[in-house]
Structure 1
Amino acid sequence: MWFDLLLAITNRMKTIKLPSAYTILLAIIVLVAGLTFVLPTGKYAYTSKDGSVTLTPQQAIGNTDSHLLPVPGSYENVKSNPQGFFEVVKAPIVGFYKAIDVAVFILMIGGFLGIVMSTGAIDAGVHQVLGSMKGKEQLMIPVLIFLFGLGGTSFGMAEETLAFYPILIPVFRSAGFDAKTAIGTIMLGAGFGVLCSTVNPFATAIASGFAGISIGDGIMVRVFMWVVLWAITSAFVMRYAKKVKNAPSEEMLEQADTATPEAMTGKQKIVLTMFTLTFVIMIWGVIPFKDLGITAIPTLSWWFDELNALFFVSSILTGLLIGMKESEIAGHFVNGARDMLGVAFIVGISRGITVVMNDGLIIDTVLHYAEAAITGLSSSIFVCVMFFLELFLSIFIPSTSGLATLTMPIMTPLASFANVDAHWVVTAYQSASGFVNLFTPTSAVVMGGLAIGKVSYGSYFKWVLPYLFIVLIVILLTLGFGVML
């Protein structure tokens, strides 16, 4: 009975058209500005981790240094500063200024992906994998899930997966499987990767930036989750594929002939090599090896300036190595950056919410109430509560970058109250956002993939529900026990 009710609710959600992320975030700015007229205003004393810098509550007014943490129990009321019409209008603009390093990073990533995707190298790579799996069709499932999972964890592969459904569904069908098998391989493969993002610039990088930590902080936890969920996702889809092969599903698509995959061109191999090398260098640049006790590998301590330069240079080198003309390099780079412009704007608008809360002197008031609520909670309970809170918010704010920009400045100080490292807050945030995007009917990726495969949402949700339950347990166990280590 509970399942029928849940299915009815999710089916109902399909018919509800939510406003765009921009409208939702602008509405939140207006709501928060209204709260500055109602809520009491106050500030905490702030201090650096080593105690070398300390600000009194009065001195902390106007402070935006994310490296300074609030001192528990030091909250004091201060004179109010309500935010009116002009402050609301300016908030997204000021927010964009304050988040310009993140916004530029997003555009650089977009430009790099624009050049890579224009060559068809990613598609060709998948075709090569399929060709090498001839006669071992069931083994292509964990291999493809591995590849899509890498795409998800490295650069947030999501919308890009829609191009693979028309390619892979006929291949899976001709191998004796059905459309749902292909959908599970693609959607769950990329989805679990995003959930376990390690260096995903649209989730981990943005959240870590606003949390005041490096992308590398907590990376081993997320790698552990990635390996576990890759095994679980592969087992889940393979189990279903075996069942389908023995007793074909009614939802199988009509038989489709598949052409023999063409060999990768030399240029595409160069592109894939540059693509891989760029992300390897990125990972090397951001991981604090010194803090992990590893001295054999130099710690570069890179952040947005260096990463922006990396993707900019890689874009140009990739184009030059495959013989692109200057105009082609510029054109593909600009087109790729243009595709990410909406994400950059979301980051700016989201940051505007924090601007209003800071200028209206209520952000510490919210922290004060939250401090009282979490007092006495163990670190395990705290991080799990944080996960469910992010889970709830991600339903209304589907943008991972927008959610990170909105919640990290508030959630990170709460972690310091509970003696929890900030990277656990980042992990809780991206786990929650990634989990919701595995099944939410408001996601264009979910509904688009199902539409291409001609699989109903109800059928997909019923099928994936046991998997979602297992994933939820893995997340909670990782957060709950990991934070105690």
Structure 2
Amino acid sequence: MAQNKLKDKLMALPSSFTILFIIIIVMAIFTWFVPAGSYEVDEAGNIIAGTFAYVDQQPQGLWDVFMAPVKGMLGTDGTPGAIEVSLFILVVGGFLGVVDKTGALDTAIAQVVAANKGREKLLIPILMFIFALGGTTYGMAEETLAFYPLIIPVMIAVGFDSLVAVSVVLLGAGVGVLGSTVNPFATGVASQALGISPGEGIGLRLVFFFVMYAIATVYVYRYATKVQKNPEASLVYEDYEANKKKFKTKDTKDKMNAKQKIVISLFGLTFFLMILGLVPWTLLNENWTIFETINSGLMGIPLIGTILGQQMIPLGDWYFMEITMLFFAMSVIIGMVYRLPESEIVSGFVNGSKDLLGVALIVAVARGIQVIMNEGMITATILNFGERGLSEFSPVLFSILTYIFYIPLSFLIPSTSGLAGATMGIMGPLGTFVGVAQDIVVTAFQSASGIVNLITPTSGVVMGALAIAGVELTTWWRYVAKLIGIIFVVSSILMALGVLFF
């Protein structure tokens, strides 16, 4: 018995919170030994190539280590805070809590399961393609956190596990971002920094999109098939029964009543409006101004404009403040439409938020890693290493090494737009110098950033998704290890082919 207890203790893995805090400590130690440095920046905040200079060491101590998650939540001059994302998560939890009071969602999920009896695995490629489209068009990332509480019960109910559920959303949207075609926050920002059109190189990026979607879908499909045939093959089998209870659905014989149908319609409308609001329509097509026109028209109507509020922002210009407001407002509307008592609406919202509190906190801890990096001033040093080391290779080798070099940079700067703005001013001209088209550099950057953001603990999206599903980070790494290896090899090959044929 004592030996079994000792074995259990040795096999027990630290929680995601602990792993993240250990990484913060390790990064802080690095700031004592890795030389600190900085670049000059232009008026737009882009790094100016050739301006790197070493600066005084900025070692991060115990105060900084414990302060990092706090700054990660509230933000610093060099790192945006996670407060907007964390608040969004809490409000989504509250929204789901109110919907749960109506019973509409459980009944709807049960009916979806019943309708797909015998063809459950078809949900995987369909849902993954939908999320991949969101990733490739507008960089769908943090917004996916709202979908996990919906997808997980469906996947569990049809006989899969929580890893399959996370994969459908995280890998689906993730490979879409990896193969960004018109994503303004990756392709757009990077292309703008180089002064080229986002359309340049779209042929290669379309190849990336479809190849990576196919690889990820087959990978998830095969694992799901294995788990459905034998639940003990699941990497989270020890939580299998607990997850079936935690993410339980109602009896499939239940039918939605009239009020529940209205709730489901409003529920779907909420997510539809979120997507419409987040897609930057005018960046994708400068002539697409329909939402600005509608917004201006409504604001111009004397009484209606005053009632709606003169600060209403048109769809396409929304970000976390606006979609958080959307979910908060729809929580109230759904509660009133279903005629829930005021106390039920409030208790449902509060309890729902409480369920996602750990998720909201883990996003801040993950952001703390980037805080330590920035305040220790070691990111620029690593970038300078690449600037000096990549300029003497052949075009094909340069494209592959640039892709590889962007992998650690993507760990240091998990924001695709932030990474593009910080590095394109250096890497683009380097590519031109060795005979590589600048759009190839853009593709290398977004592909590397995409693969890292499937697994990095510095990403609030990854950590938030795993926290919602109750999956430990180390389990996720074990699950996707082969997939990451396949994506890495295929991406390297596609980069070489891109130089030769695109």
TM class by smaller structure:
0.5 to 0.7
Matched, 1:38 2:17: no
Among 354, 374, 377, the alignment partner of 1:338 is 354
1:86 matched to which residue of 2?
A: 63
Partner of 2:258: 266
Question: What one-letter code is carried by the residue in structure 1 that aligns with 2:333?
Answer: L
Q: Once the two structures are superposed, what CA deviation does each residue of 1:167-187 show, in whole Å capped at 9, x if it has no partner?
A: 323xxxxxxxxx7xx999757
Is residue 2:174 matched to residue 1:195?
yes
Q: Which blocks of at least 5 consecutive residues in structure 1 are unaligned?
A: 1-14, 48-52, 54-66, 170-178, 199-203, 253-257, 394-401, 438-442, 450-456
Q: Note the alpha carbon deviations across 1:435-475, whole angstroms, 9 max, x for none.
A: 799xxxxx7999989xxxxxxx9xx98xx999888777776
Determine if contact 2:28/2:60 at 8 Å carries over to the other structure: yes
Secondary structure at the counterpart of residue 291 of structure 1 = helix
Counterpart of 1:112 (choices 89, 95, 99) is 95
SS at match of 2:283: coil
Task: Give a deviation string over 1:264-306, Cα, whole Å, max 9, x none.
Answer: 3333333332232222222222222222225244363222222
User: What is the identity, as a one-letter code, of the residue corresponding to 1:311?
Assistant: F
Match of 1:168 in 2: 158
Secondary structure of the corresponding residue to residue 36 of structure 1: helix
Using the alignment, how far apart are the partners of 1:184 and 1:36 within structure 2?
35
**1:146 is aligned with what amino acid?**
I
Mapped pair 1:128 → 2:111: yes
Q: Give percent identity, aligned residues only.
A: 30
**Number of the residue aligned with 2:422:** 413
* Distance in 2, Cα, partners of 1:205 & 1:465: 29
Rounded Cα–Cα distance in structure 2 between residues aligned with 1:229 and 1:120: 38
Deviations 1:148-169 (A, max 9, x none): 7657966244576553455323
8 Å Cα contact 2:259/2:338 also seen in 1: yes
Q: Find the partner of 2:144 among 126, 141, 155.
A: 155
d(CA) in 2 for partners of 1:482, 1:271: 48
The code of the aligned residue for 2:110 comes to: H
Structure 2 gaps, min length 5: 1-9, 76-80, 135-142, 178-182, 193-197, 234-249, 293-315, 429-438, 458-465
Tell me: CA distance 1:290–1:87, structure 2 relative to 1, closer, same or farther (3 Å): same
Say if 1:263 and 1:109 are closer, same or farther in 2 by CA, change over 3 A: same
Shift of 1:70: 1.3
Alignment-derived partner of residue 278 in structure 1: 270
Instruction: Tell me which amino acid in the other structure corresponds to 1:114.
Output: G
Taking a change above 3 Å as real, the CA distance of residues 143 and 343 of structure 1, as seen in their structure-2 partners, is closer
Per-residue deviation, 1:364? 1.9
1:322 matched to 2:338: yes
- The 1:369–1:118 alpha-carbon spacing in structure 2 relative to 1, beyond 3 Å, is farther
Native 8 Å contact 1:83 1:356 kept in 2? yes
Partner of 2:299: none
In the alignment, the residues of structure 2 paired with residue 352 and residue 119 of structure 1 have an alpha-carbon distance, to the nearest angstrom, of: 38
- Residue correspondences, number: 399
Answer yes or no: is 1:385 the counterpart of 2:417: no
Give the TM-score taking structure 2 as reference length: 0.60
CA distance in 2, matches of 1:249, 1:21: 27
**SS at 2:256's partner residue?**
coil
Q: 1:75 Cα shift? A: 0.5
Secondary structure in structure 2 of the residue aligned to 1:290: helix
Decide which structure has greater helix share: 2
1:96 CA displacement: 1.7
Structure 2 residue identity aligned to 1:155:
T
- Between the aligned partners of 1:416 and 1:271, the Cα distance in structure 2 is 49
Local SS of the residue matching 2:281: coil
> What secondary structure does 2:287 align onto?
coil
- RMSD (Å) for aligned C-alpha atoms: 5.4
Summarize the Cα distance change of 1:184–1:276 in structure 2 as closer, same or farther, 3 Å threshold: same
Distance 2:163 2:73 in 1: 37
Structure 1 residues 435 and 368 mapped into 2: Cα distance closer, same or farther (>3 Å)?
A: closer
Q: Secondary structure at the match of 2:69?
A: helix
Displacement of 1:368: 1.8
Deviation at 1:412, TM superposition (A): 5.8
